[in-house]
Amino acid sequence: MENRAMWLTFFFTFLISISTAAHSSGKKQIEALSRIYKEKLEGNSRIDTSHFNATHHHILREKFINSQKGLKEKDLIERLPGQPQVKFRQYGGYVTVNKTAGRAFYYYFVEAQRSEKTLPLLLWLNGGPGCSSLAYGAMQELGPFRVHSDGKTLYKNKFSWNHAANVLFLESPAGVGFSYSNTTSDFKSSGDERTAIDNYVFLLNWFDRFPEYKNRDFYISGESYAGHYVPQLAHTIFIHNKKAKTNSINLKGIIIGNAVINDETDVKGMYAYFASHALISDATSDQIMKYCDFSPNATTQTDKCNEAASEADDNVNDIDIYNIYGPLCHNPNITQNPKKTTSALNMDPCSDNYVYAYLNRPEVQEALHANVTHLPYDWKPCSEVLQKWHDSPATIIPLLKEFIANGLRVWIFSGDTDGRIPVTSTKYSIEQMKIPSKSSWYPWYLGGEVGGYAQVYEGNLTFATVRGAGHQVPSFQPARALSLIMHFLAATDLPNSSRK
């Protein structure tokens, strides 16, 4: 543990410095992701960084599965305050994942805008750890609505992913968003393993509440630290399906974006990205690559490494590292009337503030069937309740290789203007997997323009970039993100011609 701590020290110092400069959504998410690195590097930390394995989990239906009779009907959302008229149904409510501890997860579910009885079910998870899928996924990225600058009204996102699937958003673990626990010690003992187990128990109960989806094709998606959550949940499903000798959950594939995959390559790739995008000088880059040891076995960093890392800090301190060419939020105040320039195509850098105002309105929480226990704190996009994180594997590459070996569809995508978990980090991580490619690197198209670049690998693995997108790909390039998810769900390659 101490060995890992030494090489993470200089990286965490960097993260703290940029988190104080980033604004709006960037600040909250960077702080959440930085916290896990801080805990890993502390000398007295007991964070387990070993490989995640669900084979020892014993989940008994009689202990964790509760009666869901009549709950689906109670969860139906008639209409959200300030919502435009829509024709699809939406649901929101709680699923108890541990009755003894009093842990319950909040979900928001939107049926597909057409063919809801045949289209697949897609679960979306945000990362952090500790950030809300309602705050980001549902309200700022791929959900059917966005929040106006007045914090009171909604407008349609015409690129919502419920054009392609029935979409389920989950706030987890307990302490995130509206999800809660009646056992306060839970907030000091959260971690990847418990999150995966609780997410799995949530799904077992949710499928009992919505039995029409039990045999539906099911996919898991997410971004950032959900690069851990998504594969770990998929692995848990895979193991328990194997134990039961039946596909109790009909998992077909996973897709993760700008994902935390492998600590070593995540860090090295970040600095490589800074250099290739003229955010740091060649001299600083050369010094980092020469004197910094990115290996998890490193026991110390040289003064020259720390000096160069500090120089990099100064260079990127005043930009949004999650969207390096994007504007910052300079006026976070709610407006009396909605801004006239509002569009899903133009992400407002102050959107976090609008969502915060909207989801803390009592009439909104009532409509969502949320905050039924009257939590003693405001709903926030990233949790300030979680205090400790118990386990965080150094890599999830073994899980990805397991899925590929067993025929599960795996797509990894990367917004190419994200500097936090950039395209270089993801490419380095994929290289570590040593999987032969089936196609050469090629541009993919949407509307006659290059939407990004892609490469297909043996074993049902695809890597795709999304041109002009930051860390939250559906926020910054919603049309390209929708095209991406449609091709993923259809198991078709991204088009290599502008005529397709």
Q: Distance between CA atoms of 390 and 43, rounded to whole angstroms?
A: 15
- pLDDT at residue 55, as a whole number: 73
Element (H, E) at 328: none
pTM of the model: 0.93
- What are the phi and psi torsion angles at 345 (to 5°)? -80, -15
Q: Distance between CA atoms of 498 and 500, rounded to whole angstroms?
A: 6
List all residues 6 or more positions away from 417 whose beta carbon is below 8 Å from its beta carbon.
323, 324, 325, 326, 468, 469, 470, 476
SS3 454: strand
Q: Distance between CA atoms of 155 and 28, rounded to whole angstroms?
A: 24
Q: Distance between CA atoms of 429 and 394, rounded to whole angstroms?
A: 12
Which one, of 176, 151, 168, lies nearest residue 90 by Cα? 168
Catalogue the active-site residues.
224, 418, 471
pLDDT in tens, 288-337: 999 998 887 666 788 999 899 899 989 998 999 999 999 999 999 999 88
Residue ranges, the chain, pLDDT below 70: 1-30, 34-35, 37-45, 58-62, 297-299, 341-343, 498-500
pLDDT in tens, 344-396: 778 899 999 999 999 999 999 999 999 999 999 999 999 999 988 888 898 99
Which one, of 258, 254, 103, 247, lies nearest residue 183 by Cα? 103
Please, how many CA atoms are within 13 Å of residue 76, restricted to the half-sphere of its CB?
7
Q: Distance between CA atoms of 15 and 31, rounded to whole angstroms?
A: 8
- pLDDT at residue 136, as a whole number: 97
pLDDT in tens, 150-176: 999 999 999 999 999 999 999 999 999
Residue 371 is classified by DSSP as -
Q: Distance between CA atoms of 244 and 237, rounded to whole angstroms?
A: 10
User: Hey, what CATH topology would domain 17-264+326-490 get?
Assistant: Rossmann fold (3.40.50)
Q: Distance between CA atoms of 452 and 477, rounded to whole angstroms?
A: 11
